[in-house]
Amino acid sequence: MTTPIEQQIVIAVSSRALFNLESEHHIFEEQGVEAYRAWQVAHANEPLESGTAFPFIQKLLRINTLFGDKQPFRVVVLSRNTPETGQRFFNSCRAYNLPITAGAFTSGQSTFPYLQAFDASLFLSANKENVFNAVSKGQPAGLVIPGSTALKDDSETDDELRIAFDFDGVVIDDEAEKAFHEEGMQGFVQHERQKRNIPHQPGPMHRLFTKLGQFQALDAERGKGDPYFKPVLRVSIVTARGAMNEERLITSLKSFGMSAAELFLMDGLPKKRVLDVLKPHIYFDDQLKHVESTSETVPSVLVPFGINNLVL
């Protein structure tokens, strides 16, 4: 019996986020929808190449095999394609053994209004307008940045899923970011020290972050009594903050129920240096300059939220 969707962590993904559809998208932009439809139908039985979100989705679904009937994760597709062109998506899923069986094909209509219908904790899309609209309405969405293929050959024998988050404007809101923009570093440090015992307000990825914390508790039960047990999920915070203002960050992590996050305080150093070692299957950041750099080596997602995205 399928686990009720309310008891799962649901990830919604667009067809262009999961698979590489850039050449097909160029056909759509240059020749129109009819040419795009004809191309997709004619190539329906040709599996698509993997896209930016593929390593994350593949690993996520593989984790379900460790939990029997519990199936803690579900992936659904939210695509602006037509149902007939969507056939190539499902054929590609079957070719890669990705058990994605639910979702919506909206024939050009916006997909983000259906996030709540599928109880999604995350929406990954390559459509900028869709993502920006979703985030502006408080939905947990991210724009996948074309880039790294390094993890697409990740070993199938390795079950570990690695997820990395920036902190400000991603896991939490942009209150502290605003203090930095308005008062500089000194004002930012003073602001955070004064509120070091007050947790930050949630940001756009807060729900996903806390649900991953709940999953870690479930995973710990699986390894209970095994001193050599290796958790299947690693969650990391990679932040530009330094040790002068980490106290409120840690206060917030505790309040969010995340007891097993790895913390990297870069203090202004390039985040890419740590991410190249960590090799996350997906990384979330609210600043375009960061994801444009990190996307060269790791699958990266822009979360267009808050003060850093006012001019995007």
Q: CA–CA separation, 274 vs 263, rounded Å?
A: 11
CB burial readout 280-290, b (16+ within 10 A) else e: bbbbbbbbeeb
CA–CA gap between residue 122 and residue 112 (Å, rounded):
11
Tokens standing for residue 254: 């505790």
Q: Which of 154, 166, 173, 286 is catalytic?
A: 166
Closest CA to 16 of 121, 129, 113: 129
Residue 158 a catalytic site member: no
SS (H, E, C) the chain: CCCCHHHCEEEEECHHHHECCHHHHHHHHHHCHHHHHHHHHHCCCCCCCECCCHHHHHHHHHHHHHCHHHCCEEEEEEECCCHHHHHHHHHHHHHCCCCCCEEEECCCCCCHHHCCCCCEEEEEECCHHHHHHHHHCCCCEEEEECCCCHHHHCCCCCCCEEEEECCECCCECCHHHHHHHHHHHHHHHHHHHHCCCCCCCECCCHHHHHHHHHHHHHHHHHCCCCCCCCCCEEEEEEECCCHHHCHHHHHHHHHCCCCCEEEEECCCCCCHHHHHHHCCCEEEECCHHHHHHHCCCCCEEECCCCHHHCCC
Active site members: 166
